[in-house]
Amino acid sequence: MDYAATLLAKLPGATRRDNGLRQLVEKVQAYLPEEQLDTILRAYEFGAKAHQGQSRKSGEPYITHPVAVACELADMHLDAQAIIAAILHDTVEDTSASLGDIETQFGEDVAQLVDGVSKLDQYQFHSQAEAQAESFRKMMLAMIEDIRVILVKLADRLHNMQTLEAMPDGKRERIARETLDVYAPIANRLGINRFKVELEDLGFKHLYPFRYRVLEKALRRSRGNQRQIVKRISERLSAALVEEGITAEVIGREKHLYSIYKKMSEKKRPLSDIVDVYGFRIIVDDVSTCYQALGIVHGLYKPMPGRFKDYIAIPRINGYQSLHTTLFGPKGQPLEVQIRTRNMDRVAESGVASHWQYKAEDKADATPQRRARDWLSSLAELQSSGTSEEFLESVKVDLFPDKIYVFTPKGDIMPLPKGATTVDFAYSVHTDIGNRCVSAKVDRRLVPLRTELQNGQTVEIVTSRGAKPNPNWLTFVRTAKARTAIRYYMKTMRSSESVDLGKRLLDRSLKDIDSSLRKVGKVRMKAALEELGLNNAAELFAQLGLGERLAPLTARFLVSGNEEGDAEPSKASLVIAGTEGMVVSYARCCHPVPGDDVMGYLSAGRGVVIHRNKCGNLAIFRKQPEKWLSVTWEDDVDRDFTSQIQIETHNKPGALAEVAATIADSGSNIEQVSVLGGHDDCSVLSFLLLVRDRRHIAMIMRSVRKMPNVIRVSRDCA
């Protein structure tokens, strides 16, 4: 009678008959010392007592659920603390047991793990989107603290999905969708293939039950014939490897339902095309044998061009390593073959969890663990993202790792999501590099920053000390890190710029009524801030700068204590230099440039919007004179502005190219060209140009007007 059986014999009769417990004991006995097994059984007794009288929707005693969760983790050889936390993970939430009780009996680490798992489900939210996003955020934070929290949570979700039939339809669909959207991708990101596959299939089964049944029935019909083909090919592969003296295990794989469904959906192909792809896994002893086996396989069946991937030399982001090749099999049937070592196979199935199968001193060197830690540490940087929804949107990009691999100039490999641009690359190197990048070289050639990168390219980023992120980058970046860093920079810059502008606006409005901030004094300012419900003067200046509060009204309020009454337009003018940043913007309807007669309009949330005096839209704003602001340009404005001109030309071959060349010769860049209309004889073209000032655009228009094919040139203004 072994130690586990002796311990089980001491438990009450009903407990001894619990097959789940017996299964758990058998699993943990295989790799944990006897004293830890004793503690696990104590945890079971504690949990069984706490959950006594409770049952699941299926009618089973509640304790069967945490034991099943613990069994899933025992399959991955997790440590005793994680197994105990799995057994106790619902006790704090659903029973009278407290965290203090758990800490007293099982230690601080177990209590923290239980607390981490419990907290993920304890928050109240105003909307379903907010609930999913915030619970997701909590989960990510828990992972950063201790990755075992998410492993317990994934095992918990897996067992809940296995018993989901007992739930009502609406709840079943919601849980299934959440599983496919969040939990399966996390399992994939952490490299836990076993969890990922089962979560996907169960999620598919409960979210699309009819589609699942149709696919399953079709697969069952073809499976008999499939098994014969898989068996024949497996035997041929094994014989060829043995002949070359290679010891290998050949496994014929059956595709799981959700992967078949996804391929059918994405590639718009019928089931017959997808099902007839056979998969094989060859497991060998070491890396050099992997490449030797690849040569043998390619000698046996012809490889398909462009379908070989070496994930051993360049592992996937989650630590996965394997050689992938697709071959022309018997009768031209495609064969998918994966070749890997036993260690790689263990990592492929258990991912980051495989790290616990090694001794403590090996932990730091475990590749999947290190990769997971790198990813989790990058999540900590994303916390500056403003809302939970933004965070979820950002991290989901990383959870679907359709990756490309590019190189730094020094030859380092940088994994990025498919569709990533040079800006994504810059931020992946370092946030400061991204913030200061001005241009990029791909394979030594200058390219636009929005250029999408391809596998194997070498990317070099050119930076400038005074450069800063462009808000337009948000329209094309793909990585969570780039998107979050740009948003964070915009928020902080916008805040500091709005404070500076607001202070200037208030100063000028106070001068109009023969006062100043110094005359108002600290005492009056403090009293006014309290009345307005603001914490400090910076908040007031920011509101003024963003147009949420009017400077003339605020000035009178500070001086007289009265914020009521009709507002008068500000007499003083705001002098602009074009460097104010995002709180001073230039209207796209009339494209003002230095030298134009302009007016400012205070727009709530946007700050001051500059319009030309001739702009047709100003008629709408005249109904709100208190929001008008007199504006003048500084004498030497040193930056380029966008301006728009319309050109009517004869319809002659090469007319557009001639106009573009003349504009370029005038020292201007063309940002955009569009055809507004025309007929057989002429066309009306609209050019968006970069110019220095009013004189520059006048010079461009004169040059274009002299061209023989040009009929009319005008400056566009709404």
The answer to whether 447 touches 390, Cβ cutoff 8 Å, is no
H/E segment holding residue 512: helix 480-512
Instruction: Based on DSSP, count helices (H) and strands (E) in the chain, helices before strands.
Output: 30, 20
DSSP state letter for 183: I
Can you tell me the distance from the alpha carbon of 76 to that of 194, in angstroms, rounded to the nearest whole number? 10
Contacts of 323 (CB under 8 A, 6+ apart): 290, 291, 294, 308, 309, 310, 311, 312, 338, 339, 340
Can you tell me the distance from the alpha carbon of 226 to that of 712, in angstroms, rounded to the nearest whole number? 73
Contacts of 92 (CB under 8 A, 6+ apart): 98, 99, 102, 114, 115, 118
The values of phi and psi at residue 699, to 5°, are -65, -40
Map residue 109 onto helix, strand or coil: helix
- DSSP for 690-709? EESSHHHHHHHHHHHHTSTT
- Whether the CA torsion 395, 401, 402, 407 is positive or negative: it is positive
- Catalytic residue chosen out of the listed positions 94, 108, 638, 681: 94
The answer to whether 569 touches 575, Cβ cutoff 8 Å, is no
The values of phi and psi at residue 280, to 5°, are -135, 145
Tell me whether residue 93 is one of the annotated catalytic residues.
yes
> Based on C-alpha coordinates, what's the Rg of the chain?
34
Residue type (1 letter), 83 = I
DSSP state letter for 360: G
- Catalytic residue chosen out of the listed positions 93, 216, 249, 273: 93
Token couple for 516 = 């100043």
Say how far residue 330 (Cα) sits from the centre of its chain. 42
Can you tell me the distance from the alpha carbon of 89 to that of 91, in angstroms, rounded to the nearest whole number? 6
DSSP state letter for 458: B
Token couple for 165 = 């039939």
SS3 content of the chain, % helix, strand, coil (to 5): 55, 15, 30
Question: Phi-psi bin for 315: left (phi > 0), alpha (psi -120 to 50), beta?
Answer: beta
CB atoms within 10 A of CB 56: 14
Map residue 597 onto helix, strand or coil: coil
Contacts of 538 (CB under 8 A, 6+ apart): 499
The answer to whether 89 touches 157, Cβ cutoff 8 Å, is no
Token couple for 123 = 């928050």
The answer to whether 666 touches 713, Cβ cutoff 8 Å, is no
The answer to whether 254 touches 201, Cβ cutoff 8 Å, is no
CB atoms within 10 A of CB 139: 21
Residues belonging to the chain: 718
Can you tell me the distance from the alpha carbon of 304 to that of 290, in angstroms, rounded to the nearest whole number? 19
Say how far residue 12 (Cα) sits from the centre of its chain. 50
H/E segment holding residue 84: helix 80-88
Which strands make up the sheet holding 598-603, listed edge to edge?
573-576, 628-633, 598-603, 607-612, 584-586
Could you give the angle at the alpha carbon of 668 between the alpha carbons of 662 and 672, nearest 5°? 90
Token couple for 216 = 């399953």
Token couple for 23 = 């299964």
Residues that are catalytic: 93-94
